[in-house]
């Protein structure tokens, strides 16, 4: 972009060019971009070559990548919040079912409705599971990436230790059963 061409367009107009390009889905059709742009204060529009030059010299692609990453992150947080809300509603429904089943059991007794007993214990268990998942999702969504990685590493290490312990116990049981049977192999 030559300095003469640049001076014809203010920084705010160049910003408007970027915003239009971005809103068009980072279009490669610069004729469309040029068509959608308003004229500047002098009644001019940049040429297609100048628009391409603006895109390169002003870092439009890199800026669009950064904006897209922020948009994706925002959508991911919204999805996490929606899932947490859904799980919270499900936990409330499970709680309500458990209350109704409990009321039925207390009013009618155990022998009149086995399904009420079953519904009560199922609802209590579901509520416990759903509340735990919901709270965990909210906790994770608020953690910085480094902390999530550290927590995952800790859980993987704990899982590895459990697997090692089980393997050791299985080996010890094999030795014990060999001693009992008199097998010396």
CA distance 114 to 101: 10
Please tell me whether residue 33 adopts helix, strand or coil conformation.
helix
- pLDDT over 60 (residue 6): no
Separation between Cα atoms, residue 94 and residue 122, nearest integer Å: 8
Top pLDDT among 155 and 111 is at 155
User: Residue 22 above 60 pLDDT?
Assistant: yes
Would you kindly state where each structural domain of the chain is located, as residue ranges?
3-58, 70-142, 145-185
Name residue, tokens 């742009």: 37
- Total-model pTM: 0.50
* Residues 143-171, mean pLDDT to the nearest whole number: 74
Q: In this predicted model, what pLDDT tens digit does every residue of 82-117 receive, in sequence order? A: 888 888 888 888 888 888 877 877 777 665 567 777
């Amino acid at each position: 972009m030559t300095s003469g061409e640049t001076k014809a367009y203010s920084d705010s107009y160049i910003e408007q060019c970027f915003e239009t390009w971005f809103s068009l889905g980072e279009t490669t059709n610069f004729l469309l971009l040029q068509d959608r742009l308003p004229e500047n204060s002098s009644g001019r529009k940049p040429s297609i070559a100048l628009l391409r030059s603006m895109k390169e010299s002003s870092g439009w692609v890199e800026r669009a990548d950064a904006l897209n990453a922020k948009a994706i992150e925002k959508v991911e947080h919204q999805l996490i919040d929606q899932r947490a809300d859904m799980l919270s509603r499900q936990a409330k429904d499970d709680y309500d079912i458990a209350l109704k089943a409990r009321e039925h059991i207390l009013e009618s007794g155990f022998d009149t409705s086995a399904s009420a007993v079953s519904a009560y214990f199922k609802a209590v268990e579901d509520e416990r599971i759903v509340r735990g998942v919901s709270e965990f999702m909210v906790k994770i969504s608020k953690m910085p990436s480094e902390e999530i990685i550290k927590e995952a590493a800790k859980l993987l290490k704990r899982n590895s230790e459990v697997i090692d312990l089980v393997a050791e116990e299985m080996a010890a049981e094999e030795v014990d059963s060999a001693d009992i049977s008199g097998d010396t192999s």
